Structure 1
Amino acid sequence: MTNFATIATVGFVFIAMGISLWQKLNLEKDLLVATVRAAIQLTLVGYLLQFIFDADRWLYILLMITVSVLVASRNSASRGKGIPWIYLRVFVTIATVAGFTLTMMVTMNMIDPDPQTLIPISGMVVGNGMVVSSLLLNRMKEYAESMREEILVALSLGANRSQASRRMTTQAIKAGMIPMIDSTKTVGLVQLPGMMTGLIIAGTPPVEAVRYQLLIMFSFISSSALISILLGFLVYPTLFNKDHQFLGWGKRS
């Protein structure tokens, strides 16, 4: 892709801005800011990755992955305002699951342990974890409010906090996984996934690209399940005090 072609891609943004002006959506400023930020951020990341690839040192790889987890955790934690220590809970969840997933991939020779492979794949795993965590926290806050009476009744009948909140937690966990399951069901039929498309454009044989994409999709399913369950069980106890009395999160927001 030439420099001219890269610059020309901004034309797509101008089309969106033109539509915004035409329909008086007032999105021009947001589109411009998003475009400039994306260009700057991706350019800086490109140079940083080139440096890490050339250095080929584990310390830089681990630092890059850690920064990715920190940023993802901060973004997801914003969905759980009011939940005690939510940033730490999200960070531990994403870091644990991402570490487990990458370790399995390397030890079972699914991927090569080099920066060109580890960093992009870890970014996809962490990004998926961020989305799943955000969905889970949104649903848990929603269900904690809508199922409040049900939880209180269960507690009044002698249930402990785990029993009283089980349906809420289960529904939230399922909600966090459904988008991943649905996208997996239609993969290749609605659109070609991003990693597979990139590999094909780069010249990789389609069958080989499919193998890599299956690795990513299946690891996403596993990590989505692990993150939903782990984070769900880390978060629900904060609805109650040590005596199993329901407190909710509203007053802490």
Structure 2
Amino acid sequence: MTGATIAFGPMLGVVLVALVALGGVVLWLGELGQARAVVTAALRAVLQLALVSLVITAVLRTGWLTALFVLLMFSVAAVTSARRVGVPKRVPQTAAAIGAGVLPVLALVLATGVVPWRPIAVVPIAGIVTGNAMSATSQAARRALDELRTRHGEYEAALALGFLPRAAALEICRPSASQALIPALDQTRTVGLVTLPGAYVGVLLGGASPLQAGITQVLVLIGVLAAQSVAVLVAVQLVAAGTIARD
């Protein structure tokens, strides 16, 4: 590191290659079947972040470009979530779940002025909240659909007892789908004790004080938890209603 920033140079490339190789070789030796996925994911991350770094310089100059960029992030999140769930044709439905979590959080932090209406502040907050809402939606919907498939007999039994289809589906899929919140809950409970999350480290590297970094991280963690809670609820309800269903 140079001062408070990561040093960019040949050694950084060597370290990144070594880390990718470590993950890939371990999975390959363990026969877990994801070695190629680690390499592919790493390459995509490098290329995508390089492209975003170039684009975002122009995006941050104007408000309307910032809005378009945030909309692009949201659109990609909805498409990605639909694919992860195994319902690629249900993008509007996954978008509804993600949006239900993201919109109230962004509206609250921006309307109150806690996060300033500046592109340099809006883009990272919107990206973090959207990405986490996407992950929660994907996990909740997948688990709900898997439960309904594997426990179809229990679903039929609930119908036989007089449950309406939506209520019967909720009895089956709601408990497992709620587990999508476990990562966010664990991170929020253990922040500062087990891990220092990205927002905290990023603000520190940007030259802010530890107190400012801590305040920023608390806002991010609680905002993410709120967004994920709403997204999971909406995703489960859409699955139970049959709106999100595998073809």
TM-score by length of 2: 0.86
- Given the superposition, is the C-alpha separation of residues 99 and 36 from structure 1 closer, same or farther in structure 2, using an over 3 Å criterion? same
Shift of 1:207: 0.8
**Partners in 2 of 1:204 and 1:42 — Cα distance?**
23
**Partners in 2 of 1:146 and 1:162 — Cα distance?**
17
Uncovered stretches (5+) of structure 2, i.e. residues with no partner: none
**Partners in 2 of 1:62 and 1:33 — Cα distance?**
30
Asked whether the 8 Å contact 2:170–2:236 carries over to 1, the reply is no
What does 1:1-253 correspond to in 2, within 5 Å?
Answer: 5-16=8-19, 19=22, 25=29, 33-54=40-61, 56-57=62-63, 59-82=64-87, 85-238=89-242, 249=246, 252=247
Asked whether the 8 Å contact 2:28–2:35 carries over to 1, the reply is no
Uncovered stretches (5+) of structure 1, i.e. residues with no partner: 241-247
- Given the superposition, is the C-alpha separation of residues 111 and 11 from structure 1 closer, same or farther in structure 2, using an over 3 Å criterion? same
**Partners in 2 of 1:224 and 1:232 — Cα distance?**
12
Asked whether the 8 Å contact 1:97–1:227 carries over to 2, the reply is yes
Letter in 2 for 1:74: V
**Partners in 2 of 1:152 and 1:13 — Cα distance?**
51
- Given the superposition, is the C-alpha separation of residues 111 and 161 from structure 1 closer, same or farther in structure 2, using an over 3 Å criterion? same
**Partners in 2 of 1:184 and 1:23 — Cα distance?**
29
- Given the superposition, is the C-alpha separation of residues 147 and 104 from structure 1 closer, same or farther in structure 2, using an over 3 Å criterion? same
Residue-pair matches, total: 240
Letter in 1 for 2:57: Q
Q: How big is each residue's C-alpha offset from its partner over 1:177-224, in whole Å with a ceiling of 9 and x where there is no partner? A: 122111111111111111011111221111111111111111111111
**Partners in 1 of 2:95 and 2:81 — Cα distance?**
9
Asked whether the 8 Å contact 1:136–1:176 carries over to 2, the reply is yes
Q: What's the secondary structure of 1:232's corresponding residue?
A: helix
- Given the superposition, is the C-alpha separation of residues 227 and 21 from structure 1 closer, same or farther in structure 2, using an over 3 Å criterion? closer
Asked whether the 8 Å contact 1:196–1:212 carries over to 2, the reply is yes
**Partners in 2 of 1:46 and 1:177 — Cα distance?**
30
Shift of 1:22: 9.4
**Partners in 2 of 1:22 and 1:147 — Cα distance?**
35
Shift of 1:166: 2.3
Moved more, 9-18 or 100-109: 9-18
Letter in 2 for 1:145: R
Shift of 1:36: 3.9
Q: What's the secondary structure of 2:60's corresponding residue?
A: helix
Q: Cα RMSD between the aligned structures?
A: 2.7
TM-score by length of 1: 0.84
Shift of 1:228: 0.5
Letter in 1 for 2:18: I
State the percentage of identical aligned residues. Answer: 22
Shift of 1:32: 5.3
**Partners in 1 of 2:36 and 2:27 — Cα distance?**
14
Q: What's the secondary structure of 1:165's corresponding residue?
A: helix
Q: Pick the structure with greater CA Rg.
A: 1
